Amino acid sequence: MSGVIEIILIFLILANLILLGASRLRNAIRIVAWQGLVLGLMPLLAHRDGLVWAAILLGAGSAGIKGFVFPALLNRALRETQASREIEPFVGYVLSLLAGVGVLALSVWFGSRLPLPWPPASNLLVPAGMFTVWTGLFLIVTRRKAITQVLGYVVLENGIFTLGMVLVEAMPLLVELGVLLDIFVAVFVMGIIVFNINREFDHIDSDQLAALKEGGP
Amino acid sequence: MPADASIHLFLLLWALGVLLISGVASALAGRWSERTSVVLGIAGAGMACLAGLAAAVAGLTARATGTIMLPWRIPYGAFSLGLDSLSAFFLIPLFLLSGLAAVFASGYFRPWNERNPGRFWLFYNLLVASMALVVLARNGVLFLVAWEAMSLASFFLVTFDDRAADAREAGWIYLVATHVGTAFLIAVFILLGRESGSQEFSAYAVPAGSAGALFLLGLLGFGTKAGLFPLHVWLPEAHPAAPSPVSAVMSGVMIKTGIYGIVRMLAVMGAVPGWCAWLVLAIGAVSGVLGVLFALAQHDLKRLLAYHSVENVGIITLGLGLGMLGVHYGIPAVAALGFAGGLLHVLNHALFKGLLFLGAGAVAHATGTRDIERLGGLLKRMPWTGAAFLAGAVAICGLPPFNGFASEFLIYVGAFRTLLANGGLALGGLVAVVALALIGGLAAACFAKAFGIVFQGEPRSPAAAAAHEVPRSLVAPMLVLAALCLAIGLGAGAVVRALDPAVAQLAGPIVMSDAPRGIFPIALGTVLALLVALTLALAWIRRRLLAGRSVRAAVTWDCGYAAPTASMQYTATGFAQPLTNGAWAILQPHVEARLPQGVFPVSASFESHAPDVARANLYDPLFRRLAVGLGWFRWLQQGQVHWYVLYIVVVLMVLLAWALVS
């Protein structure tokens, strides 16, 4: 069992790295969708007491939403806003990749020091989860387009989901469902807002929204 | 014999429920039917206030005590309510005035025009419910929740007329002030509950040696709500901006929750150091004198009344300070008289200040202005309003036979009692007597001005000349309040006896000595007899003087001119000038005058404003500096989501690394 988990985790890490280097929006959406889909398998494997209805439900729900609903919503937003297909980062792709590698190393170090209530299903679990969280945050901070920021949030949630696997017995199902619901609402709302912003301003560059802020120098 | 209060508490809970439900229902109905919304709001407020009043009066007279406790899922919180004599006493003016003001409001706002009545009734009923909850709460968390609900509900009522810029500004000032106060209160509650780890009032313990500091914190927090100098700055802004029935409730009842807080804190904490008593006495004296001085310099009728609230809260605090001194020096009579005077003044002020604010509202309703300089001659046009306002004015000046006299008299008697004691206590009594005398004199001058300029003489503007008596729904509440002011003044002895258990909660288990209680009928009887004799004598002298002369009616203050005009009358500013000139250094008014020049002056003008000294000299500079200081952090505020998320990431990373390394 732990072999499969490790393959999934390695896929997760590779997907993060690809995402950091991806320059096409449609590609990025596809990668995030795959990441969510594959992660949906994890609860089935991580649970020690064999299959539990709750775990199956959680996995299926999360895979369905992240693998199919989110990409559909985002692709629709992309199509309707007719944004250019470039990601337009603040930090270049090469630099992003280098930073990603640095953060990965940091995550491994964190993972080795983080005190856990019990040993996780795999030694890679904590570093991979943490790396995914940081990747999500990195995407939110360094990418210009609102759609990439939405993608960042989804990746962030994937990381939280992975870390939740460590604590699958301690972390109630309700918490995980709550996080998923939050992200779902966020993506839904952002999809609509991005569309409306585009209609009003003819672009979806979130850095230009600063023109809307009140007062200030 | 203390009775069980469960039935009273049940009735009070029912009243709270009715207020909540009717408020929400009124808000929902406000969108589609103005009439339904008003009916729902007023019916809920009326029923709840009647039930609450009945429960409170029954609870006070039966000396009922009891608590209800329901578990609550909030940490440290519990829905724990209690009724005792103190709570019951504070609930009486609360429900009485709120009910009457609700009746007034039903007529005051008609026609509602584009205002949504649901918005008013939702917040009004919420305000009444949260005030009652503040008085009933026996758990720190519940108390703070109710306190905050009260502040927010009143904020939305102050800004009800949100198209007026001054109402919005007043709302913000009020919101800031009330939250600064609440911050102090949170500290107090945390410190009180730290030892036992529980926020139940019954489990509170004062950490050794910090009673004085705790009391000071509480005084700052509650004093902000009560409007004690120099924490009163929000009062003269919020009261004029709010609709009149709301001003009446806020000034008559809501600021008394601050007094309730101080009193409840005394009851919970037990002994406080002697300097606290001196401090309370001093703050009371300063608030009283400065409040009435500022009132003298105002020419907005409601702003004038707002400063009188500062004055009257000062009188209440003076009484409480005297009571605390009595407890500290171990002289029961002084303690009982001081607390009884302070508490009775809470009830009295609620009645006459509520009456006066409603009167000001009626004047504004009839003339469309609150500027005293533009009014005049209203007594002939609005006889009922004028008579009720006069009753309130006499009561607030502390003149017999109205109720203000009774409570100030108790404080006077207590203050004179201290003179029998030797040493420091006598000084406290002296301060109280001098302050009270000064306040009384200045208040009389101020209301001679307010009543004289607004209701007597000739109208100073077309709006005042065209005024008519307000509808019955506005007159009736004022007349009820005026009658109550008179009734309490005449039946003061019985009212003070009913207050005994509440006073005993503060002054300790002592029976108020018989002397002051016996003094009441005697003093009042003498004063009334004197008053009647004086009136008869004056009438007789008048008749004698006029006998055999021709009597002719003319316009007021025509001063013998052949063709007098309304502008020849005294103005409010002119009337008060001899007194405000004497207090020039304190009031610091801005005056712009172009005096008449030459033998045939063509034009002249005079303008004066008395800005609030505490605001101009303390708060404005303070907040300006604060704004400059905080301006240094502006560069953090980029207005870009990227940066905000980056801040979060950096903080998270640093915290995580710090936790893992150390």
Q: Which of B648, B642, B650 is nearest to A90 (CA)?
A: B642
Strands, E, within B530-610: which ranges?
A: 590-594, 605-609
Of B635, B639, B649, the CB nearest to A141: B649
Q: Which residue, among B660, B661, B662, would best test binding to A if mutated, counting the most A CBs under 10 Å from its CB? A: B660
For residues A158 and B52, the model is more confident at B52
Which of the residue ranges B317-321, B498-502, B553-557 would you say has the lowest mean pLDDT?
Answer: B553-557
pLDDT (0 to 100) of residue A169:
57
Read off the pLDDT band of B61 (50, 70, 90).
Answer: confident
pLDDT (0 to 100) of residue A217:
40
Which of the residue ranges A173-187, B357-371, B405-419 would you say has the lowest mean pLDDT?
Answer: A173-187
Does ipTM surpass 0.95 in this model? Answer: no
Inform me whether the pLDDT recorded for B409 exceeds 90. no
pLDDT (0 to 100) of residue B414:
86
Inform me whether the pLDDT recorded for B276 exceeds 50. yes
Q: Are A5 and A45 in contact (CB under 8 A)?
A: yes
Q: Do A206 and B642 touch (CB under 8 A)?
A: yes
Q: What is the pLDDT of residues B531-548, one digit of tens each?
A: 889 989 999 999 898 888
Q: Are B124 and B41 in contact (CB under 8 A)?
A: yes
* A142 contacts on B by Cβ (under 8 Å): 642
Q: Which residues pair with B78 in a beta bridge?
A: B71
Query: Which range scores top for mean pLDDT: B57-71, B77-91, B118-132, B643-657?
Result: B118-132
Q: What is the pLDDT of residues B85-117, one digit of tens each?
A: 899 999 999 999 999 999 999 888 887 777 788
pLDDT (0 to 100) of residue A216:
42
Q: Do B649 and A213 touch (CB under 8 A)?
A: no
Please spell the DSSP secondary structure of A128-176, one letter per residue. Answer: HHHHHHHHHHHHHHHB-BHHHHHHHHHHHHHHHHHHHHHTTTTS-HHHH
* A137 contacts on B by Cβ (under 8 Å): 645, 648-649
Q: Which two tokens stand for residue A211?
A: 């023109």
Read off the pLDDT band of B78 (50, 70, 90).
Answer: confident
Cα–Cα distance, B259 to B90 (Å, whole number): 10
pLDDT (0 to 100) of residue A195:
60
Query: Which range scores top for mean pLDDT: A47-51, B38-42, B201-205?
Result: B38-42
Q: Do B660 and A110 touch (CB under 8 A)?
A: yes
For residues A114 and B25, the model is more confident at B25
Cα–Cα distance, B317 to B310 (Å, whole number): 10
* B640 contacts on A by Cβ (under 8 Å): 206-207, 209-210
Nearest C-alpha of chain A: how many angstroms from B632?
11
Q: For the beta carbon of residue A215, count every other beta carbon within 10 angstroms.
A: 7
* A90 contacts on B by Cβ (under 8 Å): 642
| Among chain B residues, CA nearest to A205 | B640
Q: What is the pLDDT of residues B459-486, one digit of tens each?
A: 888 888 888 888 888 999 999 999 999 9
Cα–Cα distance, B426 to B301 (Å, whole number): 38
pLDDT (0 to 100) of residue B43:
93
Cα–Cα distance, A126 to A108 (Å, whole number): 8
Nearest C-alpha of chain A: how many angstroms from B621?
22
| Among chain A residues, CA nearest to B638 | A210
Nearest C-alpha of chain A: how many angstroms from B78?
26
B530: exposed, middle or buried (Cβ count in 10 Å: 0-12, 13-18, 19+) = exposed
Nearest C-alpha of chain B: how many angstroms from A137?
7
**pLDDT mean over B332-345:** 88
Inform me whether the pLDDT recorded for B662 exceeds 90. no
Q: Do B642 and A110 touch (CB under 8 A)?
A: no
Q: Do A134 and B649 touch (CB under 8 A)?
A: yes
Of A90, A140, A216, the CB nearest to B645: A140
Which of the residue ranges B91-95, B276-280, B299-303, B588-592 would you say has the lowest mean pLDDT?
Answer: B588-592
For residues A176 and B323, the model is more confident at B323
**pLDDT mean over A93-115:** 86
Inform me whether the pLDDT recorded for B453 exceeds 50. yes
Of A113, A207, A209, the CB nearest to B660: A113
Strands, E, within B234-318: which ranges?
A: none
Helices B472-490 and B383-396 meet at what angle, rounded to 10?
Answer: 30
